[in-house]
Amino acid sequence: MVFRFCYYRENAFTDVHLLCLRSCQQFTNAHRVVVHYNGNGEGPHWDTARALPGVEWIHDAEEGLDFRLRTLEREGGFFAELDFVFLKSFEALRHHKAVIGIQSLDKQKLCSALIGAVPGCAFIKACIGASEDELWNIAKTQDVHVVRRPVFYPLCWSNRTFFKGKQISLKNSVAIHLWEPLHPDLTVEALGRTVLGPVIKEIIDGEKQAIVTCRPGGTLVF
């Protein structure tokens, strides 16, 4: 239940990235939240993120999927991109040797935006050096739990109406990927006008209330 993220100095640190970290802390039941970064960001959202209690920052991030895979192979945990909003506990997913989600069943495509694994996982080893298009066939030969598209990716890559207020079902979702490269100017304010509005309010209200939460293993989160 370690959640890892990468931040690259070349990109602005936005309020959506900050929302991602906050939602991870509040909803996933994470024991640790770790951000690997290659340089300090700038602006109020970066400053707020760096001050979040319980978030660890490691200055070692490298570009590309292989950095994330090598880190997972060595240390385990879940590795996700910073444009997720987490919705529910990952407790049921932690017991698999590896976890990855379907992006498109018709195209037989898995997505590496969120991957979980135990240290030394054979699936992760097999993926190092592979392309995204090869992940589907690799998964066929390895012990990996492949979750249906709504679990991580209820918002389709091709969806152009979600950000205009069209409803989508999050009933079976533990997280939602926002496809930031397609929406580089996305803000939390704009997300608040979508189906995520109540979730965002809960995250913000949770920060204000500073509730003490007991995590498995005895960790207290304020």
Q: What is the pLDDT along the chain (222 residues), one digit of tens a residue?
A: 999 999 999 999 999 999 999 999 999 999 999 999 999 999 999 999 999 999 999 999 898 899 999 999 999 999 999 999 999 999 999 999 999 999 999 999 999 999 999 999 999 999 999 999 999 999 999 999 999 999 999 999 889 899 888 899 999 999 999 999 998 899 999 999 999 999 999 998 876 544 444 455 544 444
Decide: helix, strand or coil at residue 65: helix
The C-alpha atoms of residue 95 and residue 130 are separated, in whole angstroms, by: 25
Q: Are 183 and 163 in contact (CB under 8 A)?
A: yes
The C-alpha atoms of residue 89 and residue 92 are separated, in whole angstroms, by: 8
Decide: helix, strand or coil at residue 110: strand
- Which domains, and CATH codes, for the chain? 2-221 (3.90.550)
Q: What is the pTM of this model?
A: 0.90
Please choose, from the candidates 65, 78, 148, the residue with its C-alpha nearest in 3D space to the C-alpha of residue 110. 148
**Residue 139: both structure tokens together:** 């998964």
Please choose, from the candidates 83, 84, 94, the residue with its C-alpha nearest in 3D space to the C-alpha of residue 30. 94
The C-alpha atoms of residue 69 and residue 155 are separated, in whole angstroms, by: 24
